[in-house]
Every structure is written in structure tokens, then in C-alpha cells.
Amino acid sequence: MNSNKYIFKKKLSLRRKSKRRLLIESAFMFILSLFLVYINYLIPNKNLLLQNLPNNLNKSFLLIIDLFSNLYEIFLVLFIFISTVITLVLLFGTFFRIFRIVKRKTRQISYK
């Protein structure tokens, strides 16, 4: 019964990392940071991009609002088409059942 209360606990290893592994990980992080600095250096017109950022964000926000207003209309038209198709199927099913009831033979077989 005592072991049941620990059934969902994760079993983590509590060992320390070796100095070699820590050195390799720090070297990897250093190389990755140098690579990111180099990529950042290669981007042209950084100042112009940063200056135009508020304007671009404003335009993007307006486009998102326009997108949602258009999505409402698109979903409304889709609802109209889908409800029309469902209505036609239900009406066809109703008339088909009525036709089968009217056309049914009057003679019924009774089992005794």
C-alpha cells in the first residue's frame, strides 16, 4: 500500500552532469550564439525595419479585423448552403415516406 502513493511520480535521475558534458554543452551554446549573431549581422536595413515596425503592426491589425469580418460573411453563406441542402434532403425523405405509405398494399399478412 505504501508504494501506491508514489505510482504517478516521475522517476528523475538525480545524478550531476560531468564536467566534460557541461563543457561540451557550454561550447555548443557559445557556437550557437555566435551563429545567431552572424545571421543577425547579415540582415540588411535593420534600422529601417525597426522604424517601420509600429506601422506594419498597425496594418496587420487592420487586416486581421478585416479578415474576421469577411470570415463571418463566408460562414454565413456556408450555413445558408448547408441548411438548404439539409432542408431539401429532409423534404425529399418526407415525400418519399408519404409516397410509400400511400402506395403500400392494403393486404397484410397475419401470423397466428
Is 111 within the bounds of a domain? no
Is 1 within the bounds of a domain? no
Does the pTM surpass 0.75? The reply is: no
Is 5 within the bounds of a domain? no
Rounded average pLDDT over 45-54:
92
The whole-angstrom separation of Cα 16 and Cα 52 is 48
Rounded average pLDDT over 48-52:
92
How far from chain centre, in Å, is Cα 56?
25
Is 83 within the bounds of a domain? yes
Rounded average pLDDT over 37-54:
92
Query: For residue 77, what are the domain limits?
Result: 17-45+52-103
Is 12 within the bounds of a domain? no
Is 79 within the bounds of a domain? yes
Is 110 within the bounds of a domain? no
User: What's the total number of domains in the chain?
Assistant: 1
